[in-house]
Amino acid sequence: MEETRYPMPLLGEKLPSIEAETTHGPMKIPEDLKGSWFVLFSHPADYTPVCTTEFVGFQKRFDEFEKLGCKLVGMSIDQVFSHIKWSEWIQENLNIEIKFPIVAANDAIANKLGMLHPGKGSNTVRAVFICDPEGKARLILYYPQEIGRNMDEIVRAVKALQISDKEKVAMPANWPNNELLGDRVIIPPCKDWASAKKRKTEYDNYDWWFCHKKL
């Protein structure tokens, strides 16, 4: 029998609308988060070791996300009471209070977001959607169940996207610790010959097509 495949959101597209129960009450996503950057991330299941380390990692950086005006929203196919009890366990045993909402998804919600992969049973994969204030997916990451995510990279990506939008620049690899440019940013390519001819006089550069500046 042919497997049913569900389309996942594409970069630049608005996240499909979902309504669900969460540990903070009913939510409609992305509508309830309009005007704010947010990170929607799924985990395979409550009460699992890798997921527990991830939730601690996200919460440890909660204030960093808050300073960026970015909200965190967790999600898995577990019922709300399980999310609440697991959050309670984390606080009682690890002394970490989970302050962000956790969505109690179902198969329909998870499939809308491409979070259920063939061969992985009913557990959601480790998906990350970084969305802008319009609810558009600006960066998407998928990790297998056996590999925990790097939360510092997610913080870095939010910062980079916000600066790129504001300054109309591109960010080099490993920004802000790039091997060539350090924390400098890259000027977008020229669109015509006249601009290319004077570009090297306007910015620090390796050539007219590789110009950079300090923020």
Q: State the catalytic residues.
A: 51
Would you call 65 exposed, middle or buried from its count of C-beta atoms within 10 A (0-12, 13-18, 19+)? buried
Distance of alpha carbon 52 from the chain centroid: 18
CB atoms within 10 A of CB 95: 8
b/e map 122-152, b = 16+ CB within 10 Å: ebbbbbbbbbbeebbbbbbbebebeebbebe
Task: Name the amino acid, one letter, at 13.
Answer: E
